[in-house]
């Protein structure tokens, strides 16, 4: 279907970018990562992939797409990394961490196993780890195990490093900043590093949610899958949720983003409240 007023070939653009190019990019990222790109993403796709053309020394999008079709593994990784979005912050959607804190206090079985399936640059899994320590005390390091995955290898490296500009932690309380971060001095001034005790609670690894087999170790007490489903169409969402379901304990919690809903998957999960879901079978049974 033609995109009306397709904005690809503008005089101010370094490379020609046709609707055919955009459609092929759209097909490739959907097939490889399940991400659905709307017509409104044309400018974003051009901007991000133009950097890849410069990096590879290519001069046309058709040459770049031919490189991908030739199964250049390193460039496939760069292609996917370029088109994934990684907006995040510490304690984003704060009510989820209040719910998590109470949930952790109620869990008796150890270890408590949590999966963050789109860890981005690490703010979410580190927020989970901080919540665990605030809820369970110093023993949280052995009581809670966090698995954190992402499709984008660049953000995984940043998450593992755990180093952030100081303004990224400015909204945390003074007590949290002192307890959980080391502030840089000298050449590292203006940066903050996550303390080793938090890093030790988290195992980072690359994972594609479209893969038939995931390297996630269950059973899981909670899954954080926030602001992930919005990038997939409904059939892909359902397939991913089907694969998640047996990994989550019968009384486990599934956390989604504020703009996400699972009406189309109510046979799998039901809303408990505040974009927190439980197994459909557990709904209405006094689940806490």
Binding residue ranges for S-adenosyl-L-methionine = 86, 88, 92, 124, 150, 208-209, 226-227
List the catalytic residue out of 48, 168, 193, 272: 48
Note whether 209 and 117 are within 8 A (CB): yes
Q: Is 272 a catalytic residue?
A: no
Which residue bears the tokens 């653009």? 13
User: Can you say which residues are annotated as belonging to the binding site?
Assistant: 86, 88, 92, 124, 150, 208-209, 226-227
List the catalytic residue out of 21, 26, 150, 270: 150
Handedness of CA 131, 134, 136, 138 (dihedral sign): positive
Ramachandran quadrant class, 162 (left: phi over 0; alpha: psi -120 to 50; beta: rest): left
Which residue bears the tokens 């709307």? 38
Q: Is 39 a catalytic residue?
A: no
Note whether 79 and 52 are within 8 A (CB): yes
Going from the C-alpha of 158 to that of each of 66, 81, 108, 124, 278, the distances in angstroms are 30, 13, 33, 13, 31
Which residue bears the tokens 């269950």? 218
Catalytic site positions:
48, 150
């Amino acid at each position: 279907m033609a995109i009306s007023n397709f904005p690809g070939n503008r005089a101010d653009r370094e490379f020609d970018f046709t609707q055919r190019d955009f459609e092929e990019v759209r097909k490739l990222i959907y097939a490889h990562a399940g991400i659905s790109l709307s017509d409104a993403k044309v400018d974003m796709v051009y901007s991000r992939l133009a950097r890849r053309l410069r990096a590879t020394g290519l001069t046309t999008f058709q040459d770049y797409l031919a490189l991908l079709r030739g199964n250049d593994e390193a460039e496939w990784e760069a292609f996917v990394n370029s088109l994934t979005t990684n907006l995040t912050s510490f304690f984003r959607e704060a009510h989820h961490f209040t719910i998590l804190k109470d949930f952790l206090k109620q869990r008796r079985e150890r270890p408590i196993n949590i999966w963050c399936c789109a860890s981005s640059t690490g703010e979410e899994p580190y927020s989970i780890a901080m919540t665990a320590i605030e809820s369970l005390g110093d023993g949280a390091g052995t009581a809670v195990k966090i698995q954190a995955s992402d499709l984008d290898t660049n953000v995984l490296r940043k998450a593992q490093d755990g180093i952030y500009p100081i303004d990224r932690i400015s909204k945390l309380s003074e007590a949290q900043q002192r307890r959980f971060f080391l502030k840089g001095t000298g050449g590292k001034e203006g940066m903050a590093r996550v303390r080793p005790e938090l890093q030790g609670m988290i195992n980072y690894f690359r994972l594609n949610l479209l893969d038939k087999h995931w390297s996630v170790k269950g059973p899981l007490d909670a899954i954080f899958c926030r602001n992930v489903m919005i990038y997939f169409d409904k059939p892909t969402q359902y397939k991913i949720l089907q694969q998640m379901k047996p990994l989550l304990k019968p009384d486990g919690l599934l956390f989604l983003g504020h703009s996400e809903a699972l009406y189309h998957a109510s046979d799998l999960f039901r809303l408990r409240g505040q974009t927190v879901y439980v197994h459909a079978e557990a709904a209405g049974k006094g689940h806490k």
